[in-house]
Structure 1
Amino acid sequence: MKFDMHTHHFRCGHADGTIRDYIEAGIDAGLQVIGISDHTPYFGIPEEQPFPGIAMAKSEITGYVDEVLRLKKEYEGKIKVLLGIESDFFPEVAEVYRKALAAYPFDYIIGSVHQVNGVSIFNKNRWNKLSPAQKVADKEAYFDLIRQSARSGMFQIIGHMDAMKGNYPAFSEIIADEAIEETLKVIAECGVAIEINTSGKTKLCGGWYPSNAILEVAHFHGVQVTFGSDAHTPSRVGDEFEEVSRVLKEIGYTEWVYFEQKQKVAVPL
């Protein structure tokens, strides 16, 4: 059984195609389940749409939800369409996000850390002039935020958990093994899944999030996994699903999961 929990579309301002385009691409890719999970608006900022090229406006979320639910009915019997969303995690406004998202019948919410100390994790210039100790501190701060997001109870899936390497491949060489292992322990204790996100191939790191080494530790601690292409163009829906499945089997996983009405559905590998 093939599924993809992480897809975007034009509303976020940096993806191509309509929701229908992604559903049709999922059918073409042989998926039985597709999750639509565009970026949340910036609920914690007063402006209607402070970053048009990053996320949808606050006024667009109801239309987004309605469209997904309408297409879910239309494609019933052809492919299961799930209503998801990818939410930023900002501890200082987490309750604002929790309240805003509770108004909608999401099948699942992906929690993703996109900023550390107010700077995008994908900004490769953030590392310029940092000492080795400062680089370690930034990496540890990143994983601390992921731990907080897991403990928040807001999310079913942790998004791209080492994506800070995306445009800075040397991130993987910064030693913070204790922070990573503690993060995986917390995720396991909280019953949250992590996604294997294949969009790293579109960044400088050229690999999945998280790395195979992290996945091995995740398996050791009993962390459940799911699949997400993080497609920003329909052609990437389901990208590398079979390869991810093969690697997970080699690591020792026997199943992965997706979420419907915020309940885990186990799928044998």
Structure 2
Amino acid sequence: MRFDLHTHHSRCGHAEGDIEDYIRAALEAGMDVIGISDHSPYFAHAEDHPNPRVAMPRSEFAAYVEEVLRLKEKYRGRIEVLLGVESDFFPEYADIYRKAYEPYPFDYIIGSVHFTRGVSIFNKNRWKGLSMERKIEEKVHYYEMIALSAESGMFQILGHIDAMKGNYPDFSDIPAAEAIDDALKTIAKCGVAIEVNTSGGTKLCGGWYPSDDILERACHFGVDVTFGSDSHRPGRIAEDWDRVRTRLKEIGFKEWVFFRRKERIAVPL
């Protein structure tokens, strides 16, 4: 069973192609399951479309869901299309986001921390001039946010849980093992999966999210894993799928998971 649960398309303003392009690419790549999970609108913002290069307008969200459901039926019997969304996690707005998702039949929701203290995790300038003590504080805060996202009950999957290294590879060397372990224990307790996200290869860090050492600790703590290419162009669908599967088996995982109607489906590795 081959699946890819993390994909984007043109609605978010920074990806190529429409939803059907990704479904066709998944068929060509031999996928059995393809999840559509574009960036959530900024539901708590006063404006309908405050960041056109980041996420879809709030007014477009229902149309997004309708399109995925239509394509789910169109491709039934050829490939399973899952309705997902990659949701930002802002603790102060969690109830707003939760209510926005309630009317729709999502198969899964990916919860991703993209901002901490109001700054993008991909903004490498946020680290300039910080002492090691302050860097540790920022990394610990990031993992506290990830733990909160698991505890929110909103998500089946947590996205790219060390993506702060994306444009700042030295992030991985900032010591915060206890905070990472605490987050992983919380994730395991809450029954949420983490993704192996292969889009890190498109960033300065040049590797998957999360790193092998985090995956090893996730395995130790009994955290479920899934796969997401985080494709922003159809050609990246299923990128490194076989390599990820092999690596997970080497680490000690016996299975990985996907979600249908928010129910966990385990697939042997």
User: C-alpha separation between the residues in 2 aligned to 1:43 and 1:141?
Assistant: 23
| Paired AA for residue 88 in structure 2 | D
| Paired AA for residue 153 in structure 1 | G
Q: Which residue of 1 aligns with 2:49?
A: 49
Q: Which residue of 2 aligns with 1:190?
A: 190
Q: Which residue of 1 aligns with 2:206?
A: 206
Displacement of 1:132: 0.7
Displacement of 1:25: 0.3
User: C-alpha separation between the residues in 1 aligned to 2:141 and 2:52?
Assistant: 27
Q: Report the identity percentage.
A: 63
Displacement of 1:28: 0.4
Q: Is the aligned partner of 1:39 residue 2:39? A: yes
| Paired AA for residue 31 in structure 1 | M
Equivalence map 1:1-269=2 (5 Å): 1-269=1-269
What's the secondary structure of 1:215's corresponding residue? helix
What's the secondary structure of 2:111's corresponding residue? strand
Aligned residue pairs, count:
269
What's the secondary structure of 2:51's corresponding residue? coil
Displacement of 1:214: 0.3
Q: CA deviation digits over 1:108-162, x for unaligned, max 9?
A: 0000000011100000111001111110000011000000000000000000000
| Paired AA for residue 30 in structure 2 | G
User: C-alpha separation between the residues in 2 aligned to 1:103 and 1:203?
Assistant: 35
User: C-alpha separation between the residues in 1 aligned to 2:12 and 2:104?
Assistant: 18
What's the secondary structure of 1:130's corresponding residue? coil
What's the secondary structure of 1:81's corresponding residue? strand
Displacement of 1:236: 0.2
Q: Which runs of 5+ in 2 are unaligned?
A: none
User: C-alpha separation between the residues in 2 aligned to 1:109 and 1:134?
Assistant: 32
Aligned alpha-carbon RMSD (Å): 0.4
| Paired AA for residue 148 in structure 1 | L
* TM superposition score normalised by structure 1: 1.00
| Paired AA for residue 157 in structure 2 | I
User: C-alpha separation between the residues in 1 aligned to 2:43 and 2:212?
Assistant: 34
Displacement of 1:57: 0.1
Displacement of 1:103: 1.5
User: C-alpha separation between the residues in 1 aligned to 2:248 and 2:240?
Assistant: 12
What's the secondary structure of 2:41's corresponding residue? coil
User: C-alpha separation between the residues in 2 aligned to 1:69 and 1:143?
Assistant: 34
User: C-alpha separation between the residues in 1 aligned to 2:77 and 2:88?
Assistant: 32
Q: Which runs of 5+ in 1 are unaligned?
A: none
User: C-alpha separation between the residues in 1 aligned to 2:162 and 2:102?
Assistant: 27
User: C-alpha separation between the residues in 2 aligned to 1:16 and 1:268?
Assistant: 32
